[in-house]
Each structure stands twice: as C-alpha cells, then as structure tokens.
Amino acid sequence: MALSEKEVRYVAELAHLKLSDEEVRRFLPQLDSVLQYVTKLNELDIKDVEPMAQVLVEGSADFALRSDATQKTFTPEEALSNAPERGDGLFRVPRVIEKE
Amino acid sequence: MDLTDLTLAEVRDLLKRKAVSAAELVRAHLERIECVDPEVRAYLTLSPERAMAQAVRVDRAIAAGEPVGPLAGVPTAVKDVILTRGVRTTCGSKILENYIAPYDATAVTRLEAAGACVLGKTNCDEFAMGSSTENSGFFPTHNPHDLTRVPGGSSGGSAAAVAAKLATVALGSDTGGSIRQPAALCEVAGMMGTYGRVSRFGLVAFASSLDHIGPFGRSVRDVAAVLKVIAGRDPNDSTSAEAPVPDYEFELEKDVSGMRVGVPKEYFAGLSSDIGDNIQNGIDRLGKLGCRIVSVSLPHTEYAVACYYLIATAEASSNLARYDGVRYGLRAQEYGDLREMYERTRDTGFGPEVKRRIMLGTYALSSGYYDAYYLRAQKVRSLLARDFTEAFEHAEVIVAPTSPVPAFKLGERTEDPLQMYLADIYTVTASLAGIPGISVPCGRTPGDAAKGQPALPVGMQLLARHFDEARLLNVAYAFEQTGGFDLQ
C-alpha cells in the first residue's frame, strides 16, 4: 500500500473533513487502489506536451470581459435567505478573533 | 389517448389543433407521477404550482391566438443540480437538503421562456458524483425497465423520469457521462453538447472544465428541440460560446449518405458480446443508410479514466470548498470554534463518495503531488484531445458504445469505487476533449429467461467535432428512422 493512514488524516485536515476512525479505515484501501491505478499515466512520455486546463475551441474563445456597469443583483434579504444563522442583516459565524 | 405517451412534436401538434390543453398535459403527468413514482423514485421535489401556472399561461396565449414558444406546454423534469428559483435544489446532498435556490439557471429560464412546464426536480448522485444514482443522499432511483436495477447516473432521475413517462423531456448534467450513460441504461436519448454550447449559469459546479447541461428525450427530435432552446451565449457564463445556434430540428432530415463514420478500434477490444453485438448491428444500420464506415484510432483511450478522475476530483475538491456552513446549506448542530464548525458541517453533510472524491482531489493538488498527479493529468488530457482531432480528419462522426455494461443490480457495485469508475471509459474521453456526444437506444442484451436475466437496454454513442451538434443529431435521427430505437 502506497498510502498511509497518517496521510489520509492529513489530507482530510487539508480538506476540512473530520473523518471518523471507521471512515479512515474504510477510505484508505479505496483511495489507495485509485491512486495506484492512476500511476498508469506515468507510462506516457509527456515531456513536450502542453497542459490542457480548459476546452478552448474556435467560437468559444471570446472571453472578453463585460463592461463594468452596475446591474441588478440580490437584495440583502435574498442573499441571506438560506443562511444557517443570521442577524442584523449579516451572516452569523462563531467568534473568529479571540479577545485579548 | 395517453397524454404521458406523447413526444414533444406530438404535444406541439395537439396544442396547435386545440385537441389538448397544457393544463391537461401537466395534470396527466402529475397523476402518473403519483401512481408510478413511488416505485421508480425519479423525483426528489415536485413543483406542481409552478408547472400549472405556466400551463395556464400557455393555454391563455393559445386561446387568445398569441404565438407560443417551441416547448409550449411540454412537461419537463430538471435534474436537482440545476437551480430553480423558489424551489428546493438539493444536488442530491444532505448538505443542501433545505436549500431554496434564489435564482433560475439560464437553461431553466430559457426552457420556461419557450413555454416548458417544469414538473419538478429529479434525483441524482450527490453533486453528480456517480454512475448509478445510488450516491444520492436521499434514496436510490430504480430503472423503470427493471426496478431491481440502477438507472445509471448521475442523472438517473431525469433518465428514469423520461423512460417511465413521468416527463416528456428532461434536463440533466454531464461531467464524465452523466447524461449519456443513464440514457443508455434507461433506453432513452440523451445528449451533451460541445463544452460551452449550453450556459452553466445556475448549474451547481462539480468540475468546471468538464460540466455540461443537456437534454433527455424519447426521440432525437425532442432532444434537438430542447438543445436548440437552451444553447447559446449567456453573459452570465464567460465560457459559454458565441458560436451561432443552428436550427437543429430543421437539419435533422438531411441525407447522411456518404458521411464517414469512424469506428475506434480501441473501444471494442475487450467489449462483451452482449453490448458489442448490438453496437455492431447499429454500425451495420448506419452502413445501410449510406454512411461510409471507416476504422479510426484513439490511441490514448486506456489513459482516459485515470486522467479524468484526477482532473474531475481536483476541480471538485476546489468547488466543494464553498460548503462551509456559513452562507447556505447545513451547519452542524454542535461545534466549538470556527474550524470545528467547518469540519463537522462537512462531515455530517457529505456522503461517502463525495468525501472520497474531495480527498482524492485534495491529495492530487497538495504540495509535492501537484506536478505528479494534476499537471500530468492535464498534459494527458491534451493527448486525448489530440487523438480526437486526428480521428476527425478521417471521419465526421465517431460511433462507440456508451457503457460497457447494461443496468446492474442496485447495491451490486457500491463497495468498489474503482470498478465503478472504470465503467466510465467510453464517456469520459469526449468530456475531456470537450466534443459533443449523444447516446441513443440500440437494441437489448440477449438476456436469459431461464436464469431470470432480463433483456436490458444498450446505448450507442455518437461523437462529433466541436460545435458539430447538427451533424450529430442528423446521424442519430437517421439511425432512429431505420426502425425506431428498438432493433430487436
């Protein structure tokens, strides 16, 4: 196995996922088998190949920016309509900055 | 006359002759949903008031002799990853269980402007991640042809709704095959246009460089009519294409004789005869239409699944970072600090497949692994795209299977994610290259009554050059005319 339990926990932390011990045990072999499989790409010589980040084809190449004009957008009420917690026209979150 | 049996073209004709009203069409579908959907489970949320209000508008316009749109009165289902203002939009995820979309996706706005009646939102794999609709955070959808089997995925609810006559047409989304594969497994037509052909505004992002919205229908003409309505430039999606939208319906009946149809040899090595024999039969039919069948090569095909699952998961891990319990969606009940709120929210809200993909994507993008995984995959993507460019020098259209397997049993494949991923081999290639593809029904597997094996639908996939959707639909339509979709 190329992947370790420690790495799974580290990646979960990067991804802001709190995995249970049971989940870590279950995901480890599954993720490992996928990662082993994708090493298949190492068989190819890609030295002189450009990476393709987007499908850029004729006809869709016009990425001109729109004019910087004001347009209709959400009202504060609409923007807050799905907030799990709100107050005073704002999203409420747990304290981020600790008091001295 | 069974109103749920009609194609879009028939609906149009009957409305025009005032033989039926849009309200009657909507009511007939809602009644059938009530009766059949408890078994199929295609819908997550119904929007009967919205559908009926639209039907009344259409009927009034017709009564007043006013012109109506090309989709007037057509009962339509929308996959639940596509936003519908004021209607719950869950993406099949517990994290958005109570999310009410504050705006409509452009595709939905265009559908309704053309007169379509949106019946409701269809089930899917959570955030469109899966090939069976079993990854829905709510319940699996059942294949209408055999309720013990999956409808495919991720747009399994939309495919099943159209197949079970719970909607005339439907919208789905396709990132690596999520329209084409369920279309094949449910015996309907399903299409993904060129990347950028249809605006993604209001499509909840999974993998932004691969995501598409596209139509399902019970005929190629229906698919063409819906695509015509939803395609075209949208200022709200900077990647939507300026290219003019042809009248796909008008182009359907062109002669296809002399058209070169390429058969990629790599797609048939190791293909089971259950599927392969039907596709060969389909190719023979295209030959009889006067198409010139030529052999083409897509040499990097065997690398496509690995390439796709690195790019799609990397983009997904980034896109799904937004589910943090702050602005919308679920927030965990108990937590200490901010960090714990994020973690508990995401752990409670996401299902196992979404977590796996976020983990894979995060790993592939993480420091020290970026070049080895993500950058390498992007380079291989170039090679896969180049394969198609070269193959299209020898053929106008490429023909392939859609899925290497027919509909499988519910629960049969959930424990081995890699095996599930490998079955996407024939659909991820076009997604990576950004070319359009359509799946049309092409016979059934032989089945074995003695062993209790039913004859299951097989899908044939047609692919074309960028923005050559008209030709793709033209060939699919000609194929359909050779005896309907059922080649038995």
Q: List chain A domain ranges.
A: 5-43
Burial class from Cβ neighbours inside 10 Å (0-12, 13-18, 19+) for residue B372 reads middle
CB contact under 8 A, A84 and B325: yes
C-beta separation of B296 from B395 below 8 A? yes
What's residue B488's pLDDT?
36
pLDDT at A19: 93
Quote the ipTM score: 0.93
The pLDDT of residue B65 is 95
Contacts of B235 in chain A (CB under 8 A): 66
Kindly state the average pLDDT of the residues A9-27: 95
**Is B93 one of the catalytic residues?**
no
Residue range B3-251, CATH number: 3.90.1300.10
**Interface contacts A/B by beta carbons within 8 Å:** 178
CATH annotation of A5-43: 1.10.20
Q: Which two tokens stand for residue B67?
A: 């012109």
Location of structure tokens 């399903």: B190
Mutate to test the interface with B, among A34, A45, A62 (most CBs of B within 10 A): A34
pLDDT of residue B486: 53
Distance from CA of A12 to the nearest CA of B (A): 6
The nearest alpha carbon in chain A to B312 belongs to A53
Which residue in B209, B342, B467 is closest to A16 by CB distance?
B342
Which of the four pLDDT bands, split at 50, 70 and 90, describes residue A60? Answer: very low
To the nearest whole Å, the CA of A79 is away from the closest chain B CA by 8
Q: Is residue B131 annotated as part of the catalytic site, yes or no?
A: no
**A7 compared with B487, residue with greater pLDDT:** A7
What is the rounded (10 degree) CA torsion for B23, B77, B430, B204?
A: 130
Q: What is the pLDDT of residue A56?
A: 67
Q: Is there a contact between B216 and B183 (Cβ–Cβ < 8 Å)?
A: yes
* Residue of B131, B178, B240, B431 with catalytic role: B178
Q: What does chain A come to in residues?
A: 100
Q: Which residues from chain B sit within 8 angstroms of residue A55, using beta carbons? A: 194-196, 209, 385, 433-434, 466
List chain A residues with CB under 8 Å of B234.
Answer: none
Task: Specify which residues B439 forms β-bridges with.
Answer: B190, B461
**What residue of A is the nearest CA neighbor of B379?**
A51
* pTM, entire model: 0.97
Q: List chain A residues with CB under 8 Å of B467.
A: 57-59
CA distances (Å), B460 to each of A5, B208, B216, B285, B385, in order? 42, 26, 15, 12, 21
The confidence score (pLDDT) of residue B453 equals 87
Q: Is B341's CB within 8 Å of A37's CB? A: no
In the prediction, which pLDDT does B487 show? 40
Residues of chain B predicted below pLDDT 50: 487-488
Clarify whether B154 is annotated catalytic.
yes
